[in-house]
Chain A
Amino acid sequence: MPSDKSRSKGRHVNTGFGRHFDLIDFGSAKNLAVIHAGSGFWALAPRAAAAGMAVSGKISRAVESKLDGWLDEMRNFRFGRRPSAVYLNPTERCNFNCRYCYLPKSMRKTGRHMGEKKVMQALKIIRDHFRAAIPDRTYKPEIIFHGSEPMLARDAVFAGIEKFYRDFRFGIQTNASLLDAEAVSFIRKHSVGVGISLDGHSAAVANRARRTWGGQGGFAKALAAIEMLGDYPKFNVIATVTQANVASLTSIVEFFHERGVKLAMLNPVRCTQQGGRDLKPDNAKLAAALTKAMDRSYELFRKTGRKLVVSNFANVLIGIVAPTARKLMCDISPCGAGRCFFAVSANGDVFPCSEFLGMDDYNCGNIFRKPLRDILKSAPLVSIMERKTEDINPCAGCAIQHFCGAPCPAEVLACAGKLLAPSPYCQLYEEHVRYALRVIEAGRVDAYLWDGWRDETRKTFSL
């Protein structure tokens, strides 16, 4: 075994202990991207000169003294976090039977409600846990009432918000079918974030995969909710992208933009359940459709001055230009499950993330019977918190592993039978990152990110 003294001092790029830079073609006629995968460093350099700049020139010299700091920044970001959000399911039931839902059908159809008393008890336990775990008293942890359909437990949800609004920031993710004027008034008054699920720009498209148990589509109700909430700043729309709507993404962007939606997600369906796998769009078609839709969002911004931020793409983009300013924690490894948030089921069982609900092996303990601090150290939760791209083939050698994160562990487990496998959307991320690099090259980053992102961040390096 060689001693440390006999090791290379890392003087040479790409050999021994030297820094490792990758070159990728991101579809630009002018430039290639030089990437240091571990730190998330990137540079766009002229095609003819990029390799030389990376191995012995302008780029490697300019960043040599910075890389260790960036590696530390990434390490802290990826492994130094504690949970500050909870996805709380006040009921297992849903009035919809969406074909791609990641929750088991029996649970959604005949599952239990948590009930108001237990919701209150759960919120108190979570509040007390965060008070002890988060020293920053000015920071409010977040509770998202999630589902199934949380508005089926409306009284319990609203009672919880009413009582604990000083302790938490609240959000509700809903199919909007039970949102009436009174509910919207409550949401506005208590500054509750609200996400509406809507998959299309027309009833024909939106209702293909999202219907009630009786077969009724949700488009009209979702549209009514958008009209009620259009000017509300804490409102967003999530469209799940499947084979049923992948060809309509540009129209969906136009539709959302026209109705004043400011923040949306075009979220590829999770393949955790068979229904999702059956509806998974082809990666190449999906990438092409998303690229076209993102181009359209840019055109609409240029034409009208109004921006529709497509959050899942925005998160990849911010992950490149300001890695620690990410909002979504799915596309970084380890993902956010267990280390940034966890999920509580309607009977109080804790899971790393909503995506694991119904997977008994990932039941980490019951919030009403076991201290949260112990639950958050449980083996199933830790196994997710330790899942990282460095242990996955081919991710370990991938230049964009920290712009992608190989999501999502529940989905990967369902598809590959093991946690340490790449994302079923690997090719999509490859294209997303290339598109993001073209956006950066064109100087259009502000058109795709939310207003205020520059104020939230500060520049630490430029070349």
Chain B
Amino acid sequence: MKQSTSTKRSTKVVSYRRTCKAGSRGTGLSHYILVDERKSKKA
């Protein structure tokens, strides 16, 4: 099988960042899971 002689190195970088649209509302601690916040806010 012919081996590749290419010396070209991949330079692809993966990086991204997102931010919470509504401003952070996280209130949960590990004793309870905050569920379905968006629906509750609309109620």
Q: Which residues of A contact B (CB under 8 A)?
A: 30-31, 40-46, 48-49, 53, 58-59, 70, 73, 77, 81, 84-85, 87, 138-140, 142, 144, 146, 169, 171, 173, 191, 193, 195, 233-236, 238, 263, 265, 267, 270, 311-312, 321-330, 335-337, 340-341, 353-355, 407-408, 440-441, 452, 454-463
B11 touching A329 by the CB < 8 A rule?
A: no
A169 touching B40 by the CB < 8 A rule?
A: yes
Cα of A265 to Cα of B34 in the assembled complex, Å: 11
Say which residue of B14, B27, B28, B39 sits within 8 Å of A43 (CB atoms). B14
Cα of A195 to Cα of B24 in the assembled complex, Å: 22
Say which residue of B29, B37, B41, B43 sits within 8 Å of A328 (CB atoms). B29
User: Interface on chain A toward B: helix, strand, loop, or mixed SS?
Assistant: mixed
A-B contacts counted at CB < 8 A amount to 171
Cα of A48 to Cα of B11 in the assembled complex, Å: 9
Contact partners of A311 in chain B: CB under 8 A = 33
Q: Can you sample 5 A-B contacts with CB below 8 Å? A: A46-B10, A53-B11, A85-B27, A87-B32, A140-B40
Contact partners of B32 in chain A: CB under 8 A = 87, 144, 146, 171, 173, 193, 195, 238
A327 touching B28 by the CB < 8 A rule?
A: yes
Contact partners of A407 in chain B: CB under 8 A = 30
Among residues 1 to 43 in chain B, which have CB atoms less than 8 Å away from a CB atom of chain A? 9-41, 43
* A381–chain B nearest beta-carbon distance, Å: 15
Say which residue of B19, B26, B41 sits within 8 Å of A140 (CB atoms). B41
Contact partners of A322 in chain B: CB under 8 A = 17-20
Contact partners of A146 in chain B: CB under 8 A = 31-32
A327 touching B18 by the CB < 8 A rule?
A: no
B28 touching A459 by the CB < 8 A rule?
A: no
Say which residue of B9, B14, B19, B27 sits within 8 Å of A341 (CB atoms). B27
Say which residue of B11, B22, B38 sits within 8 Å of A46 (CB atoms). B11
Given contact pairs A58-B13, A169-B40, A193-B35, A73 touches B29 in the complex (Cβ within 8 A): no
Cα of A81 to Cα of B25 in the assembled complex, Å: 9
* B22–chain A nearest beta-carbon distance, Å: 7
B16 touching A321 by the CB < 8 A rule?
A: yes
* B21–chain A nearest beta-carbon distance, Å: 6
